[in-house]
Structures are given as C-alpha cells and as structure tokens.
Structure 1
C-alpha cells in the first residue's frame, strides 16, 4: 500500500469502513510513517485501532499490523467526542508525538464527564514524554453550541506543567477556563510563538497584564469571540513587536485605541478585525502607521464609512496591501471602490459581499483599474460580490475577456440570469464561479488548528493572495487568453 515513510492525508469518512478486518489494510504501510491526517473517524473505531498499536508494542512477535506506528510524530484527527480515554490511548500508543491536533464535532451534549467528554484528568495525560511542541484541542460549533464543560483552570494548570516545550497551542470551546488557566500557559511555555483561543468567554485583559515581564515572542495570535477583551489587553499584547498575524474576529469590545497600538507593529502582515466597533479613526491610525499589512479584514465593522478608505490608503499600506475584506459594511458605496481604483493598490483579493450600495459602477471601475501601466484590472485574482444590492446583469459584460485576465474566483448572487452566468463559465474555464453564498478561496471547514499543522510554512497566513495553494502563473493567463 505505502512503500515509503513520510506524510499521509486521508480525507475520508471512516465510519464507512466499519469492518473487523479494516486494520489489515495497513499491513503494508511503512513503519517510518511520521505524519498522519485523517478525516472523521468514529471514536470506538479509533480506540480499537489505538489498542492494536498498544498491544503490538507490548507483545513480542505480534503480527497484526497497527494503524498507528510508534514512529508517528504528527497526528490530526476529527472525532465525535474528545474523551479522557482517547487522550490516554494516544499518549500510550504514540510516545514520540510532537504535533497533536484533535477536533470533535458533537451532535449532542456529552452524557457524562468520564465516558464521553474531556476532563481535567484527561488533560493530565497529554505529553507524558515531554516531546509535544504543537497542541490543538478544538470543540467545533458546527452542529450545536457546546463546550468542554468538565475542564477548568486546574486541568489547564496541570497540563501546562507537562507542556513547557510547546511552541504553538490552539484551544477552542474551553468555556470554564479563566484568565488563571490562560496565564498559566503563557508563563509556563517560554518558547510559545503561536497562541489561538476561540470562544474564550472568560478571557479578559488580565491575561496580558504582565506579558512584558515574560520572555515570550509571539508571532501568531488569534483570540476569536473573546468578548471580554478590551483595548487595554491589546495594548499590552502589542508589546510583542514580532507579531505577524493577529485575528480578533468578533471581539466586540475592541475599538480604535486597540488599532492605534497595533499600528506601531513593524512586522504585522495580517490583521482581522471582523465584527469589532472600530470607526474611521482606526483606519487613520493604520494609514499613518508602520505595519506592512498584506491582508486586512474589516467584515461587519458597521461603524465604518466611505471616508475610511482614503484614510487607510494615505500611507505605505496602499503599497503592501494585497487582500482586503470590506463585506457587510452597510454605508459602503461605489465611491469607496473608486478611491481604491485611483490609489492603484495592487489588490489580488477583494471581498465586498452583502453590501447593499455596491453596484455595477464598482465592477466597471475595477475592470479598468491600472497598475504599473497595465489596465483591465490586472491584479485581481478573487472578487466576491455575493448579494451586493446594486449588481445587475449589466455587470456581466465587464467579466468578459480580456477584462480581469487573472481572475480565478468570482462570487455573485445566484438570482442573476443563469444563461449568462453559464456562458461566462464556458468562456473562462479557469474561473471558479460561486453563486450560493459560499466563501471563496478555501473549502468550507473549521481551520482552527491550521497553525499547528503548518508550523514551518506560513505561506497561507502571509500570502493569502496565493489562493488554493497555487499562485496564478503568466502561462496560465496566456492560455486562457
């Protein structure tokens, strides 16, 4: 089956392979396999396969081939529940793990603390050999709103004592963990570079109160849906001058002063401010700041107006910015897009979805946008206009060749004339057209643990304009033309 060691990714639903002989499929797998990523796998099947791996280690001459070889260093799995038994089995079967990425997607609340959920006792079993460098434990909200209700600060404190070598950690759905637990991680892991907390309902500014007294050098930070975090906490966090990626989506207590502190970061390239209460003043801070921003997301920042665009593009940002999300900003009109066009900002991604005042005039302006003497909207690779109120069939002619020669992703409302839409697809075979409201550029899935997966490759974070992992080549553009 597999002749060489290395990395194996299986994007399969393993519930379809519930057969007693399934483990024999792995009989020819290389025992040098170091990285394994699997799609959804039922918890009981997973525990059974881990039991085979444990037994094969304990019994000399055991011939039944295990799925999980002791040489495995990186593991990424999705199950219905993360439990204490699962953590214990992984820790016993795979003593050399350096990367552990687990995500569950429960369709109902766990029935008990011991059988179907993770507890403080389970967290203590993580990293028994002290080799773990990247840890991701995510409870997905895909089906219902639930969390790890049986984990509190004590569990995080005990875990952090055994995980002092961590370089990145992603925690999602730990609703009972407070500042005490999160501070324990920060103060116990001096080599931590990447920190991600999702739905940290008890995380406050106190987490970063004395961060300047630590030796931390954070480069990637995500604090999504941490609604108690305010400008004060972000000001403290900004003492990390090496911050490269910062995601503050739906931190609804953040305002202009937080952005003012961030505008002084000399290496900040990706900033997500979706759903915050910032105003045009925040854009003035960024425009006058030193951040070499390549990607900026302002989705749902309802207090922004057209005036925010010239303020943002007043300084060096207009030269470095490649990806801009201005979706769901009700007061935004075609005039704002005209400013972007006149500034000749080399955008390759522009998202304008669900803006009622954006219309055909924006499409026409972008199609004729000049950059370095080249016309026809030459830089755009992704344009999302889904559910923009002013887009009509007249806009379709501006998507015909040779206009937008590098466009590879286009989002439009599905109610437009289907015949014209289909005709556009036929004439532009390299164009991926989305009319159902789906997000463009990447498949729809929870990517909460991505930082832990790609610890050596930040291209997805730092070069978001390289969509789907492949930059558009000149040869491909020539072929289409």
Structure 2
C-alpha cells in the first residue's frame, strides 16, 4: 500500500514499468485518469529525454480496480486494449466539476470495452460523493453496443446512467445469458418493465442490487422473485416498495442478505418473511422504514426456530422503543452487529437489556455483539455507560454513541477498553456500509478478542452490584 497521489505523472509510469509480470490483481484507491492512460500507453515518452519509457502493460493482470477523477473514453479504451488478460474491471469516479466531453464516458467508450472477449465482471460507477453528476453522454445505444461485447459477462454494476431507459437495461439482461450478479444504482429511468418477462430468460440471478431506482414498484420484485436462487437482494431507497414486495420475497428460501432501507413496508409485511426467509437470512436492514414499530420484532422472530441472523440494522425508526429491544433480547438471536442509530425512543434500558442478554446457558452476558451503533439515540445517558464497561459486551469491537452525552465518560470508556473502537461523530462503523462488494459484508476481527484475553488472564470475575442487577433483568425477561 502506498499513496500515488503525490507521484509525478512520469514517476508513476517509471515505477510501474518495474512491476512484476506475475502481478494478477491491482487496486488503486485514487489515481487520475490521465496517469492511467499514460501508464498503459506504449508510446509514452518522458519530455526532454531521448530515452523512451516502455511501461509494462501488466500482461497478466486479471483484476483491475481503480477510483479515478473521471472515467473517460480514452482511459477505458487504453485499458481494454492493453490488458489482454483482464477478466474483472472495476472503475469508479467522483467528479468535482461536471466533466467536459473529452473527460467523460460516451457511447463510443462503451463500445471499446472487452476487446479481447475475456471480461466476466464489469463495474462502471459515477459516485455522487462531491457532485450530483451522471453519465449524461451515455444512452440506450451505448448499452446496446456494450451488450454486443459482453455475452459471457457474469457480473455487471452500472451506477449513474441517468439517460439509460428500460430498453438499454433489458438489452443487457437478454444478451448476457450467464449473468448472475446485477447491480444498478441511481437508475432514474429504470421501471418495472425491465423485469416484466425475466422469467422467460435463461438467467439464474443470485445477486441483485437496485439501489435508488425510485420508479420500481412491487411488480418488479414479484417478477424478480422468479429467480428462486437469489442470495442477495438490495432494494435500498426504492421508496415505492411495500408489503406486496415482501410477500414475494417470502418465497426466497436461499436469501442471505436483504436490504430494504427507506421502503414503505409495515410490521405486517415483515411477517411474510417468516418462516422461510428469516431462517436463512444473515443480514437484514430496514433502516428508515418509518412505518415499523416494536411489533416488527415479534412479526419477524416470534415462533422462529434457531436463526442464522448476524447483522441487523434498525436505524432511523422513530417508533422503535426499548420494548422492541426487550423482544429482540428474548428471541436470543446470536447477533454480531446491531445498528439502532437515530432512534429517538431507544434509551438506557436497551443497553441494560442487551448487556443482560444470554444467547444460551453457556455464554457470557452480551458476549456475541461485535458492533453496536447507538449514535443519536434519544434516551442514552451516562447511565448506559456503566453497562458498556467490563465485564459486559466482552467481544464488542465497534461502538457508536453521541459524544456530547458525556465526553469524559466516552474517553474513559475508550481508555479502559483498548480493543474497542468508540465513535462519537456519526460516521458509519466498520467498513463502508454494505458497499464493499456484491456479497454480504462480514467484519474481519482480530484473532484474540477481549473475552478471550480476560479468560486467559483469569480476570472475568466481577463482584459489582451491576452483575447482580443484570442477572435479575435476565430472569425478568424469561
């Protein structure tokens, strides 16, 4: 790992001219598109020098992932022509200003992709990080030209193609017969019609993400659910989706990840996930689903057998209270990650309940949780921090709280638990939420955690009155 942003353009090319031919995968967090083009250009020369630099074109690179200032036709063409073994191409840009035509991706650039016919995974994303910008010079014709070169494509991610309509997206679905991962974000013109006849295709989709495709309705999800092998379904910010969509999803018994942030679902809708789907789910997010109440917990988990659920996001639910957390604790689900940020009715009682939670008779209090996000929860006071101290939550690695509650208390907690990352500025905990790849995300924790250290040192005994109180709370929950 090193920072290429301080490199001069010619120095950058010289460094990579020395790269091993055995290199098969390259990821650069940020580099200018001009530097990429010059790196791979066989005719690049240093100015004021008679010695021609012949940069290595990295002949054995199979996977290339770049974050650039602009995705341009010139860069895409140079990559596609020069990297003859490329099977995975992941390009993301984040423009600071609206790009001119010479510094943008057009229909012509899409036609240059996959010149050697080996590409299986393609990702082209325009990020909205600095500017609400889109690929305004790409339309349905561009996707038609792309589809002609991508018959063997297995995974496609298209983000920010605001001028592409149902015609363009359907062309991809009907041309790429081996496609099993489809991701579209900010598909402002994508409607239900794209999936109207998807059951008539030979596709067997396992991963589908349609984030911020705001024109989609329940009909699209009903048609998508004909792919019974779906494992990942990301429908974040599809605000027109309601309970009928959940009724269709309820038949996907192989589903592992379900993200429904900002949708119009209710407590009744979540009950459609029981029993088939909820028993297989590992990750569930209902962040910002305003209609949900405490009853959504019982709708999901009442009467369910042993569950595999590890990550649950209940953030930004104005009607979720401590009573809902009590119901969650009674279900004894061995959660690793629980997010409840921006819930005004969540308070100290929730922390006490979670600290007292026993997953089974042989596990320590609250020991399963690795991540707990309580940022800006309305009822959290300094009292809750007594229950965040040793010996409670011994496996906790990430904690989100509001620092202004008691900054001295927050700092003291961080000092007393060196294994714990305490965040009080509102940032998402761990890696970027749900956006690390097509598969569901699992945090990578250190080999030894705090509980293991305490047991090794014989230091897990506590005579605090709080431990007695915790046991009383646990008994009261039974």
Normalised by the size of structure 1, how large is the TM-score? Answer: 0.89
Work out the number of aligned pairs and report it.
450
Q: 1:46 aligns with which of 33, 36, 51?
A: 36
Q: Distance in 1 between matches of 2:356 and 2:264?
A: 33
Deviations 1:431-458 (CA, angstroms, capped at 9, x unpaired): 01100001012157x937x23xxxxxx4
Following superposition, the deviation at residue 378 of structure 1 comes to 1.7
Following superposition, the deviation at residue 120 of structure 1 comes to 0.6
- 1:22 lines up with 2:6 in the alignment: no
- 1:349 lines up with 2:337 in the alignment: yes
Q: Distance in 2 between matches of 1:102 and 1:108?
A: 18
Helix, strand or coil: the match of 1:399? coil
Partner of 1:394: 383
Helix, strand or coil: the match of 1:102? strand
* Structure with more relative contact order (C-alpha pairs < 8 Å, separation 6 or more): 1
Helix, strand or coil: the match of 1:233? helix
Partner of 2:444: 468
- 1:367 lines up with 2:355 in the alignment: yes
Asked if 2 retains the 8 angstrom alpha-carbon contact of 1:406 and 1:477, the reply is no
Return structure 1 stretches of 4+ with deviation > 4 angstroms: 469-474
Following superposition, the deviation at residue 476 of structure 1 comes to 4.9
Following superposition, the deviation at residue 199 of structure 1 comes to 0.4
- 1:237 lines up with 2:224 in the alignment: yes
Asked if 2 retains the 8 angstrom alpha-carbon contact of 1:259 and 1:286, the reply is yes
Q: 1:97 aligns with which of 63, 82, 86?
A: 86
Q: Distance in 2 between matches of 1:471 and 1:340?
A: 28
Residues 290, 272 of structure 1: alpha-carbon distance in 2 compared, 3 angstrom cutoff: closer
Following superposition, the deviation at residue 214 of structure 1 comes to 1.0
Q: 2:287 aligns with which of 287, 290, 299?
A: 299
Structure 2 unaligned blocks of 5 or more = 46-50, 460-478
Partner of 1:271: 258
Deviations 1:66-105 (CA, angstroms, capped at 9, x unpaired): 2531221111111111111111111121122111111111
Asked if 1 retains the 8 angstrom alpha-carbon contact of 2:398 and 2:422, the reply is yes
Helix, strand or coil: the match of 2:138? coil
Q: 2:372 aligns with which of 383, 388, 391?
A: 383
Deviations 1:350-385 (CA, angstroms, capped at 9, x unpaired): 100001110000000000001111241121111000
Q: Could you tell which deviates more after superposition, 66-75 or 381-390?
A: 66-75
- 1:132 lines up with 2:119 in the alignment: yes
Asked if 2 retains the 8 angstrom alpha-carbon contact of 1:318 and 1:343, the reply is no
Partner of 2:467: none
Partner of 1:186: 173
* RMSD value, Cα: 2.0
Following superposition, the deviation at residue 65 of structure 1 comes to 5.0
Residues 318, 310 of structure 1: alpha-carbon distance in 2 compared, 3 angstrom cutoff: farther
Q: Distance in 1 between matches of 2:275 and 2:23?
A: 50
Following superposition, the deviation at residue 31 of structure 1 comes to 1.0
Q: Distance in 1 between matches of 2:249 and 2:432?
A: 30
Q: 1:34 aligns with which of 24, 35, 58?
A: 24
Residues 43, 124 of structure 1: alpha-carbon distance in 2 compared, 3 angstrom cutoff: same
Following superposition, the deviation at residue 11 of structure 1 comes to 5.7
Q: Distance in 2 between matches of 1:242 and 1:472?
A: 36
Helix, strand or coil: the match of 1:319? coil
Equivalent residue runs for 1:315-464 within 5 Å: 315-316=303-304, 319-373=307-361, 374-443=363-432, 447=435, 450-451=437-438, 458=439, 461=440, 464=441
Helix, strand or coil: the match of 1:383? strand
Structure 1 unaligned blocks of 5 or more = 1-9, 57-61, 452-457
Following superposition, the deviation at residue 215 of structure 1 comes to 1.1
Residues 416, 71 of structure 1: alpha-carbon distance in 2 compared, 3 angstrom cutoff: same
Q: Distance in 2 between matches of 1:389 and 1:228?
A: 34
Following superposition, the deviation at residue 416 of structure 1 comes to 2.2
Asked if 1 retains the 8 angstrom alpha-carbon contact of 2:374 and 2:401, the reply is yes
Q: Distance in 2 between matches of 1:429 and 1:408?
A: 9
Partner of 2:269: 282
Helix, strand or coil: the match of 1:339? helix
Equivalent residue runs for 1:116-265 within 5 Å: 116-265=103-252
Deviations 1:408-466 (CA, angstroms, capped at 9, x unpaired): 1100001022222121112111001100001012157x937x23xxxxxx4xx1xx4x4
